[in-house]
């Protein structure tokens, strides 16, 4: 555990919301399409964020797993909440076994720096492409929000993301005045529905086969190896190891479904999002986690209404800058031609599926090292 004290400055408050570009679309999809209870979903995110902030004392993110979330939401409700919870249990067990067995040290040796940079570049570009699609739904608002961030970011202590969020919320309320109805804003206390009693072995097996296993390469590349490298680059005094992060994934994914939540990860894009808007300690995670717990227990219905009404362009702008931070962070001038080929191949293939891009990058790296191909 890091000995650095968490801070709760204005920058930490701003950085707390830097990952909403990822969180909001998945929360809406899980609730509106899959049928996950918003109380348990938000409560689990909140608990895990507070735990992450207290333990690491850096902006160690808690994100929904993208491959699992994407498949579940794209199924249009065909994949049940129980199968998603089962995938979380299976994911947790897999990473605990890998972490405890010591396999992570061997696996991480296969993943060279160009492969990591390719993963980060691919994720950054994927975020930016998705953000452009969202921004195009309201181009004037998107361009205005980008301009606000670019202008206000010249003042280091000014939390530009707050202004962008306030603009988005104002427009949401203006377009749907019912959101401001006092009845919708009244607190209604609800307790989370714990998922463990509803789980069966069939749910865990199905979740493992159709959701957890396809997610594994993406988690290894993005949320363990790349996250470890990026965390250690940004916070050299608070280094972590691949084994520690693998074990962390095991623990948080066993806890999340118990609380009614979904499979989660420490995605490197989340670290970029939080730090991009000012976070430097775990205070940002504690702030956001506390807000999510309060909202889940007292305002879950109101929050879902607001999230569904929040302009996509606003969410897209947050996602754009998180992606930009990732993509720009991969640039290093002193590279060989082979490094460039591996980076670009990993990134381009990863645009369609990050797990496949990760495997392709490793294979290409091995072929080049063994001089089986020349570039």
Q: CA-to-CA distance for 294 and 308, rounded, in angstroms?
A: 19
Distance CA 200, CA 171 (A): 44
- Distance, CA of 11 to chain centre: 20
DSSP conformation class of 5: P
Total count of domains within the chain = 1
Decide if 4 is inside a domain.
no
Q: For helices 20-29 and 312-328, what crossing angle results, to 10°?
A: 130
> pTM for the complete prediction?
0.78
Would residue 5 count as lying in a domain? Answer: no
Is 49 among the domain residues? yes
pLDDT at position 264: 98
Among 63, 70, 68, CA closest to 88: 68
CA-angle at 220, arms to 291 and 323, nearest 5°: 55
Q: Tell me whether residue 167 is in a domain.
A: yes
The candidate with the shortest Cα–Cα distance to 216, out of 67, 326, 45, 366, is 67
The reply to whether 1 falls in a domain is no
Mean pLDDT by 10 residues, the chain (375 residues): 78 90 84 86 97 97 90 82 95 95 78 80 83 91 92 72 84 80 68 74 92 85 90 94 96 95 94 91 97 90 75 86 75 76 90 80 90 83
Ordered DSSP codes for 117-184: HHHHHHHHHHHHHHHHHHHGGGHHHHHHHHHHHHHHTTSTT--HHHHHHHHHHHHHHHH-GGGG-HHH
Q: Which residues pair with 265 in a beta bridge?
A: 63
Whether 2 is covered by a domain: the verdict is no
Q: Is residue 375 part of a domain?
A: no
Domain range for 330 is 10-369
Q: How far apart are CA 126 and CA 163, in angstroms?
A: 25
Q: What is the pLDDT of residue 128?
A: 86
Instruction: Report in angstroms the alpha-carbon separations of 175 from 47, 149, 168.
Output: 33, 23, 11
Q: Please report the pLDDT score of residue 194 as a whole number.
A: 72
């Amino acid at each position: 555990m890091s000995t650095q004290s968490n801070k709760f400055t204005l920058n930490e408050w701003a950085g707390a919301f830097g990952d909403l570009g990822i969180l909001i679309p998945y929360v809406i999809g899980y609730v509106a399409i899959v049928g996950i209870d918003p109380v348990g979903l938000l409560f689990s995110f909140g608990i895990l964020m507070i735990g992450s902030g207290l333990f690491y004392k850096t902006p160690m993110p808690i994100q929904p797993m993208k491959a699992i979330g994407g498949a579940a939401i794209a199924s249009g409700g065909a994949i049940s909440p129980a199968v998603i919870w089962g995938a979380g249990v299976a994911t947790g067990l897999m990473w605990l076994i890998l972490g405890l067995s010591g396999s992570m040290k061997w696996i991480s040796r296969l993943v060279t720096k160009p492969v990591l940079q390719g993963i980060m570049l691919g994720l950054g570009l994927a975020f930016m492409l998705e953000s452009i699609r969202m921004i195009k739904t309201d181009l004037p608002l998107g361009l205005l929000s980008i301009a606000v961030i670019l202008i206000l970011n010249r003042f280091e202590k000014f939390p530009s993301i707050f202004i962008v969020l306030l603009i988005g919320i104002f427009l949401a309320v203006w377009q749907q005045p019912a959101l401001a109805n006092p009845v919708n804003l009244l607190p209604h206390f609800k307790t989370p529905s714990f998922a463990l009693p509803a789980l069966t072995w069939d749910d865990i097996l199905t979740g493992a086969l159709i959701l957890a296993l396809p997610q594994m390469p993406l988690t290894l590349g993005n949320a363990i190896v790349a996250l470890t490298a990026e965390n250690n680059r940004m916070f050299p005094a608070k280094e972590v190891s691949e084994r520690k992060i693998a074990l962390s994934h095991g623990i948080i994914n066993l806890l999340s479904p118990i609380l009614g939540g979904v499979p989660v990860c420490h995605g490197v894009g989340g670290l970029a999002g939080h730090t991009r808007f000012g976070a430097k300690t775990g205070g940002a995670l504690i702030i956001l986690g506390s807000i999510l717990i309060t909202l889940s227990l007292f305002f879950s219905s109101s929050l879902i209404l607001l999230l569904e009404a929040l302009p996509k362009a606003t969410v897209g702008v947050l996602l754009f800058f998180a992606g930009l931070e990732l993509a720009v962070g991969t640039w290093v001038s002193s590279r060989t031609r082979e490094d460039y080929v591996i980076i670009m191949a990993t990134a381009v293939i990863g645009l369609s599926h990050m797990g496949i891009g990760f495997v392709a990058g490793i294979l290409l790296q091995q072929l080049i090292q063994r001089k089986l191909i020349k570039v």
